[in-house]
Amino acid sequence: LIRSINDPEHPLTLEELNVVEQVRVKVNDAESTVAVEFTPTIPHCSMATLIGLSIKVKLIRSLPERFKLDVHITPGTHASEHAVNKQLADKERVAAALENSHLLEVVNQCLSARP
């Protein structure tokens, strides 16, 4: 579901950039949980929150509502790892971000199929 998400700054997908890898995705159907670790391309990646938000939105739109999602940065790979993870884990902050029309447009571009 997430391998084809476009990177916001590069003409490549998150999978092509090794930002997302299958080994860092854990699905537990019995417990209705999905955990995704993503690795920004550089430790100071300014797009880390946007990438995490794009992953989260794709999963929210694709999976049944019963799933609890945990999208976070691979430990030790980003300078602001704690702050980004805190934002992505906060349902109210995620909802507020998605009410921002400009931000939603950027997320939708990341999720759209490339021509």
Q: What tens digit of pLDDT does each residue of 26-66 get?
A: 999 999 999 999 999 999 999 999 999 999 999 999 999 99
- The rounded distance, in Å, linking the Cα atoms of 58 and 2 is 7
114: confidence class by pLDDT, cuts 50, 70, 90 = confident
pTM of the model: 0.95
- Predicted pLDDT of residue 115: 65
Provide the percentage of residues in the chain whose pLDDT is more than 90.
97
- The CATH classification number of 20-111 equals 3.30.300
Domain residue ranges of the chain, discontinuous segments joined by +: 20-111
Residue 24 has pLDDT above 90, yes or no: yes
76: confidence class by pLDDT, cuts 50, 70, 90 = very high
- Predicted pLDDT of residue 50: 97
Start-to-end Cα distance in the chain: 18
> Phi and psi dihedrals of 36, rounded to 5?
-125, 120
- List pLDDT tens digits, range 79-107: 999 999 999 999 999 999 999 999 999 99
- The rounded distance, in Å, linking the Cα atoms of 32 and 53 is 20
